[in-house]
Amino acid sequence: MVKKATRSADSDVEVEDKGQKLQKVLANLGWGSRRKMEGWIDEGRVTLDGIVARLGDRVRSGQSIKLDGKPIEWEEAEQVRVLLYHKPVREVCSRSDPENRKTVFESLPKLKQGRWISVGRLDFNTSGVLLFTTDGALANALMHPSNSVEREYLVRVMGRVDDAMLERLQLGVELDDGPARFSDIQEGGGDGINRFFYVVLMEGRNREVRRLWESQGCTVSRLKRVRYGEVFLPSKLKKGQWLELPQRDVDVVYQMAGLPGRDTAPLSKKDQERRERFARKGQRAAGRRNRRSG
């Protein structure tokens, strides 16, 4: 096994590169939390250079990692990237689909290093904000319930809605997988049995918005996520388009996750102009929401 050595800045002594902890590498690749990865290593599911890995193992550039016998491309990107993708309906959030439906990953730019990791999911019939990053630790932190990152949705509801129902949805109702509630509900227009609402969740459980409304006898006929934390969906970003966040916005995303920031890859001039154009639209959207909640 070849050990990579680096030269100290203060001397001519070569210092061995000890590598990174295996569970950290796997977590940063988006396979799950470090604790979950430690469990997989304990279960013998991970091999390092063909040998069953153990907790405490470190991995260096050039080594082979396999999970359940399948090789993992693990060379991490030197600089983090974060994308905002406007997911259309009728796309799945997995990397492949047994029914050959289109996946969100097909619309993303290709990477020379690392891989895109989705920050949560949106179901097949839901559109809107979906974040991607090359930093698995960031993705895991944003999704973790302890960070209470807000998810705001615009929902069209079919059924009679009264004040008592809205109060119940904010106080909390019991679903199959435990209690759930909206932290905020704002009127979004419409009348009769076909009305729009802006609703906010502090977690990302499966079909939670739909199930909350269904618990009150209503049906969700349209669902769109318009905000994830401080990241708004720009009105000019069309469905199926993506937008790369610049350093200042990535810093905000790391703050949302409670993590120290990391440098981003520099944007091309074209992407920078595109980003600034959409950012102006996002600021207008933020202003509209502030007026709704004010």
Active site residues: 123
Torsion of Cα atoms, 276 then 82 then 85 then 286, to 10°: -50
**CB-based burial, 76-93: b 16+ in 10 Å, e otherwise:** bbebbbbbbbbbbeebbb
**What is the distance between the alpha carbons of residues 78 and 228, in angstroms, rounded to a whole number?**
25
CB atoms within 10 A of CB 66: 16
Instruction: Catalogue the E-assigned strands of 8-60.
Output: 14-16, 20-21, 46-48, 51-52, 58-59
Please report, as a single letter, which amino acid is at residue 293. S
Contacts of 80 (CB under 8 A, 6+ apart): 133, 134, 135, 138, 250, 262, 263, 264, 265
Q: Identify whether the C-beta of residue 152 lies closer than 8 Å to the C-beta of residue 129.
A: no
Both tokens of 137, joined, read 């630790």
**What is the distance between the alpha carbons of residues 221 and 44, in angstroms, rounded to a whole number?**
45
Strands 184-191 and 117-118: unpaired
CA distances from 94 to 89, 100, 122 (A): 14, 11, 10
Residues forming a β-bridge with 189: 196
